[in-house]
Amino acid sequence: MKNIAIIGAGGFGREVKTIIDSINKVNPSYKFVGFYDDGFEKGAIVNGYPVLGGVEEINSLGKACSIVIAVADPKTKATIFSKIKNANVDYPNIIHPNVLISDDYVEIGLGNIICAGTIITCNIIIKDFVILNLMCTVGHDTT
């Protein structure tokens, strides 16, 4: 199992943790190690897991870790991404197991979060770091 941490210990970050739990119930893939959040004190406990530090501390990770940016605001998300300069970090797509994705010409970039109940039909391109929240439907020919 690969280590994974979430940037953002607020409401959406905690919700993303539940998606990771759902993924692991179907296909054990990740070991959740904690949260990174500039707004919480390092060592604080959020839903039983530690805040590992602020975002810039990710740059000192010496081993591989998947990172999920669980922040809704696109500008803030871009700023966070630009601060991370660590070759040990990757950005997996976090897709709830009950999401329906068509086999017909769907492209999904990296670092996306796709929540429970989402339906993705055909001829769709989802670029990087997109959030599709609960029960979204993305119809044909969407980019």
Domain limits of the chain?
2-91, 95-138
- Cβ atoms 67, 7 nearer than 8 A: yes
> Would you say the C-alpha torsion 67, 96, 51, 41 has a positive or negative sign?
positive
In this prediction, the residues of the chain whose per-residue pLDDT falls under 50 are none
How would DSSP label each residue in 56-86?
Answer: GGGGG--S-EEEEE----HHHHHHHHHH---
Query: What is residue 111's predicted lDDT score, i.e. its pLDDT?
Result: 99
Fold of 2-91: Rossmann fold (3.40.50)
Query: What is residue 116's predicted lDDT score, i.e. its pLDDT?
Result: 99
Query: What is residue 18's predicted lDDT score, i.e. its pLDDT?
Result: 99
Query: What is residue 48's predicted lDDT score, i.e. its pLDDT?
Result: 98
Which tokens in the block code for residue 32? 């959740």
For the segment 18-42, what is each residue's pLDDT rounded down to a tens digit? 999 999 999 999 999 999 999 999 9
Query: What is residue 70's predicted lDDT score, i.e. its pLDDT?
Result: 99
Burial of 93 (0-12, 13-18, 19+ CB in 10 A): middle
Predicted TM-score (pTM) of this structure: 0.96
